[in-house]
Amino acid sequence: MTTATLPAAPDTAYGRLVARFARLGALDDAIGTLDWDAQTMLPSGAADGRSAQLATLRVLRHEQLTAPEVEDLLDAAEADAASAAGILDAWAAANLREMRRLYRHAAAVPAELVEAASRANSACERAWRGARADDAFADVVPTLTEVVVCQRAVAAAKAAVFGIDPYDALLDGFEPSLTMATVTPLFDDLAVALPPLLDRVLAVQAAAPAPLSLEGPFPVAAQRALGEALMGRAGFDFARGRLDVSLHPFCGGAADDVRLTTRYDEADFTSSLMGILHETGHALYEQGLPTAWRHQPVGQARGMAMHESQSLIIEMQAGRSREFLTFLAPHLTAAFGGSGPAWEPTNLCRLYHRVGRGLIRVDADEISYPAHIILRTRLERALIDGALAPADLPAAWRDGMAELLGVTPPDDRSGCLQDIHWYCGAFGYFPTYTLGALVAAQLFAAAERDLPALPDALGDGDFGPLVGWLNRGVHALGSRLPAPEMVEAVTGATLGTAAFKRHLTRRYLGE
């Protein structure tokens, strides 16, 4: 599918919108870079100034997007597109559709609420860093309460305009048109299917030899060098991005300056290495977006569920495959000076395929991970609709973990303080993680169908065929299609749980 289009005449309504959204895209890049810096390198004494900078830029962006003339230009451009002469091709028409969507989201929220939410998010994120380090949830309650108040107001404002549930209005900001009516049946199916599967896998593991531990220490410099080498093998362009360290791994930055982060533990390299592959999947998506539509809405990634699918297909589907782990084993021994049975591919697969009922989401295996997301989705819905007060979050978290996974966190650092999302205002994000896992499984099954030599390529450490396939079917399409249409076009089936469940039983039970 080509991304070529006729140039937008600057004197038309659509042409004027293109120019405005190009400026908005540049503002987004500035916000993304400043936010990356705030989470990686910002001196503690500069936090208040950075909060003011980000709030100012976000308000400026909001004003540019919601200026009175924008709605007039959208109306005029849509009228032109609907005329018999029809001046827009398919890509431009999709761009106009996405412009309208972004305008509706922005226009629903008053500028003063945008500023208040931005300041509340910045203050709460700073408080969370200290509270997490000190295991002191009470220290973050005042600022978290302000964040929740702002997010409830944002949700209510959008819900009133869109005519939907407030929580659905927040979901739509991360995954367009996603509602709990779609999410709930999928999550309900997983809630029924995965617990007995987890029990079966745990029984198989208990009857098999336990994985041998890899003895450290594992120097950070060696971990970083190996991580960057794998990023290069996956196709990451270091001329347009970089790897850094943060408290919570993420991928951000700007359109042609993709910043990703990880965190290192010299006693255990396994989490950091897979974290790098995970964030590289996000980065490859950003670097593969259509350059012809840079800074235009249609040139952006198609929602966070699709984004999560790209990180998971690199980390989980490919990066933890037996073929790739076999390739990786000798590189690990070379990087860390290991030797003996613990460093053999068979043991490495046991380590990376180990399943358990753990406390930490980012370290969870594929089978137990959805339970972590179901819990967070329940809790953030309760926070938004007022059924749960922020101060009561720790107790609700402990109860939910006991119910869903049979474990209880001994402290809040390994409980409700472990994730940054709520403390920076990202309500409605969590469901996209498990939806992304479903998409990733479905995409990888289709890639295996279309690329018979894919296992051999991964066994050679070659991500090229897979990433090229993803670029053609996902990355290069930007937001040209709604996510459900994109998934169906690439895989030949509507989104469901079947491919994910098949993947789990094949990998963990050999069935």
For residue range 370-386, what is the model confidence (pLDDT) as tens digits?
999 999 999 999 999 99
Query: Is 112 a catalytic site residue?
Result: no
Task: Tell me if residue 234 falls in helix, strand or coil.
Answer: helix
Q: How many CB atoms lie within 10 A of CB 136?
A: 16
pLDDT number for residue 1: 47
Average pLDDT, rounded, for the chain: 94
Identify the pLDDT of residue 80: 87
Whether the per-residue pLDDT at 156 is higher than 60: the answer is yes
Q: What is the pLDDT of residue 362?
A: 87
% residues pLDDT > 90 (the chain): 92
* Strand duo 257-262 + 241-245: pairing: parallel
Q: Report which of 189, 172, 116, 176 is spatially closest to residue 146, judged by C-alpha positions.
A: 116
Q: Where along the chain do its domains lie?
A: 13-165
pLDDT in tens, 421-440: 999 999 999 999 999 999 99
Task: Name the pTM for this structure.
Answer: 0.93
Q: Which of 78, 175, 279, 366 is catalytic?
A: 279
- CA–CA separation, 467 and 288 (whole Å): 9
Residue whose C-alpha is closest to residue 347's, from 339, 337, 357: 339
Confidence band of 255 (pLDDT split at 50, 70, 90):
confident
How do residues 283-326 score in pLDDT, each as one tens digit? 999 999 999 999 999 999 999 999 999 999 999 999 999 999 99
Element (H, E) at 244: strand 241-245
Which two three-digit tokens encode residue 331? 């590189």
Q: Residue 202: is it exposed, middle or buried by C-beta count within 10 angstroms (0-12/13-18/19+)? A: middle
pLDDT for 9: 76
